[in-house]
Amino acid sequence: MVALPCEAKPLIEQLGLSRLMGENFFPIFRSQDFTLTVSGVGKTAMAAALAYTHARYGNVGTEVWLNIGVAGHAELPVGEVCLVHKITDLERGRSWYPPIVTKPLCRTDALVTVSRPETCYERPELYDMEASAFYETACRFSSAELVQCIKVVSDNPGTSLDSIKPKQVSKLIESGTDLVQALAAEYSDLASSLQRSVGGRAEVFSNQWHFSVQQKIQLESILNRWLLLDPESVPDPQSLGQLENARRVLSYLRDQADRLPVTFP
């Protein structure tokens, strides 16, 4: 997911993507392994584009979602590539902490999502206009560990936002495409491994309790998280025999999974 066509251009070329004809709501590009959507600027546009992309081309539970784009920063030099470990929606006062469960391939930093372009850089963090909506929406469709933001610094107090042209944005994103591909491959392998493990475990739970379609989706999402954070501690369904129905099973599993520690590699 990207906001701007100039952010998309180097990714389209590097990943060998082709534009899908007939997609009138958002520009969408695809290959066998990737789907790229250009959302437009802002939280509303990003949330709508992501939900639309998922509805058209997605699966539930083990998709890798990446938000790639430029961001401002109070201190970092232009061109620095960062993986985001904290997202704060300044308008809502709410924060999220994307779990980084693989070894970071670049610097990690916190990010603030704002509703208007930031020029003051009051906090020593990244600034963008879409990440909070991206993360909150994508986590509805996949495990939080598979939802990540990659930002390239485009402006800072010494390089004003107004001076940045689309060609410069494309060059900045191009400088990070190798890292994007490496991260995508790493998380894709992780998702494939999870899909195999989760499918079998979810079936065992389904043999003991009746789960509706929506409850099965929730079950797989919780198991995804558990397997990523602590695969050895996933409970045996037989040990939960005291739980009367699927709703109570989900409540118990979600509560226990939320208590698992998230540590940086």
The reported pLDDT for the residue numbered 206 is: 84
Which is more confident, 224 or 152? 152
| 254 pLDDT tier (thresholds 50, 70, 90) | confident
The reported pLDDT for the residue numbered 190 is: 76
For the segment 219-246, the average pLDDT, to the nearest whole number, is 81
Q: How many residues does the chain have?
A: 265
Least confident of 2-16, 26-40, 45-59, 187-201: 187-201
Q: How far is CA 11 from CA 1, 15, 90, 222, 232, in A?
A: 11, 6, 29, 32, 37
Q: Which residue has the tokens 């003991």?
A: 208
For the segment 111-140, the average pLDDT, to the nearest whole number, is 93
Which residue in 247, 187, 242, 243 sits closest to 222, CA to CA? Answer: 247
The reported pLDDT for the residue numbered 199 is: 61
CATH number of 5-189: 3.40.50.1580
pLDDT (tens digit per residue) in 184-198: 888 888 777 666 666
Q: What residues contact 125, with CB distance under 8 A and at least 6 apart? A: 73, 74, 88, 109, 110, 111, 112
pLDDT (tens digit per residue) in 19-44: 999 888 999 999 988 999 999 999 99
pTM for the predicted model, two decimal places: 0.76
The reported pLDDT for the residue numbered 265 is: 45
* Mean pLDDT over the full length of the chain: 88
What would the two tokens of residue 26 be?
């958002």
- Domains of the chain, by residue range, sit at 5-189, 199-258
For the segment 221-238, the average pLDDT, to the nearest whole number, is 78
Which residue in 129, 16, 30, 132 sits closest to 70, CA to CA? Answer: 129
For the segment 203-218, the average pLDDT, to the nearest whole number, is 84
Which residue in 230, 231, 234 sits closest to 249, CA to CA? Answer: 234
